[in-house]
Amino acid sequence: MSQEIFAKLTNSLVDGDPDATFEATKEALAAGIEPMVIIKEGLIPGMNIVGEKFSCGEYFLPDLIIAADGMQKAMTLLEPELLKRQQAIESAGTVLLGTVKGDIHEIGKSLVGTMLTANGFKVHDLGVDVPTETFVAKVKEMKPDILGLSALLTTTMVMQREVIKALTEAGIRNQVKVMVGGAPVTRSWAEEIGADGYAEDAMGAVQIARQLVAK
Ligand code: B12
């Protein structure tokens, strides 16, 4: 039963039918499937297939845009459900979050924000295509425990290094823990650029954030 719904979710993204994605998400929630399971088993596989088809030239930019629309429609139903399952009442810490300059991918970054919020963190989301200077200015102004930097392109992940460098130059690197993520980002990249933490997905981001705040 669940497998059928997951296939429906995945196929609706691959077929570029946002309304079908929305309906399948409703159906999955009504069937009692946990929102994070819907995302992991139904939606992310769909986005990955769309990405693969794009990289081999079978799909084009409009196909990516339509798939993103479907995923975002689904998130309008899933986000409130994730937040409802909020774990902690007391604030676990504060996180400033954004996608680096030149990069407009927002779905993964927003999901990380939602999961952090659902787990008691106070999240301030700066959005996408955030200039390095803005990250630095906001760290100075808001003094978050953690700065989360998302990058989805091999050409923009270098901006994560730039932000860390800029924090050092501004003399505030030791005031904030930096956590990085996004599809092309790896643990070894995170270590190379001097980040404090890396996670592969949104649940991992919550774990790392907890560890970083405890340090
Ligand atoms: C949807 C999509 C788009 C949409 C984005 C819409 C939106 N509002 O976000 C649009 C159409 C705008 C787009 C544009 C482009 N895209 Co695009 N896109 C994708 C796609 C298909 C899915 C991304 C996604 O939403 N995944 C679902 C989410 C949930 O996963 P996620 O983003 O990876 O996030 C998770 C983790 O990475 C992690 N995470 C993310 N951020 C953070 C941050 C922290 C701190 C932590 C700890 C963890 C973390 O947790 C998240 C949740 O689990 C990917 C393919 C793919 N498989 O990734 C290509 C992909 C990323 N795009 C790609 C490309 C090339 C482009 C374009 C350059 C295309 C073009 N020719 O114009 C443009 C670039 C625009 C720009 N300047 O940013 C390539 C990148 C190749 C590369 N190696 O650099 C990919 C990989 C497709 C491919 N296989 O070729 N894209």
Tell me how far the alpha carbon of residue 173 lies from the centroid of ligand 1, in angstroms: 27
Fold of the domain spanning 2-84: 1.10.1240
The number of the ligand 1 atom at minimal distance from the alpha carbon of 197 is 47
Q: Which residue, judged by its Cα, is nearest atom 54 of ligand 1?
A: 51
pLDDT in tens, 154-170: 999 999 999 999 999 99
Q: Mean pLDDT, the chain, as a whole number?
A: 95
User: 121 CA distance to ligand 1 centroid (A)?
Assistant: 24
Report the CATH number of the 93-214 domain: 3.40.50.280
Residues of the chain with CATH 3.40.50.280: 93-214
CATH 1.10.1240.10 in the chain: give the residue spans: 2-84
**What is the pTM (predicted TM-score) of this model?**
0.94
Q: Identify the pLDDT of residue 118.
A: 84
Q: Is the CB of 196 under 6 A from ligand 1?
A: no
Within its chain, how far is the Cα of 121 from the centroid? 15
Protein residue closest via CA to atom 60 of ligand 1: 51
Atom 37 (ligand 1): residue with closest C-alpha? 182
Percent of the chain residues topping a pLDDT of 90? 92
Closest atom of ligand 1 relative to the 72 alpha carbon:
8
Residue 32 makes CB contacts below 8 A (sequence gap 6+) with none
* Distance (Å) from CA 187 to ligand 1 centroid: 18
Assess whether pLDDT exceeds 90 at residue 85: no
Q: Is the CB of 36 under 6 A from ligand 1?
A: no
Residue nearest to atom 38 of ligand 1 (CA): 201
For residues 71-81, give the mean pLDDT: 94
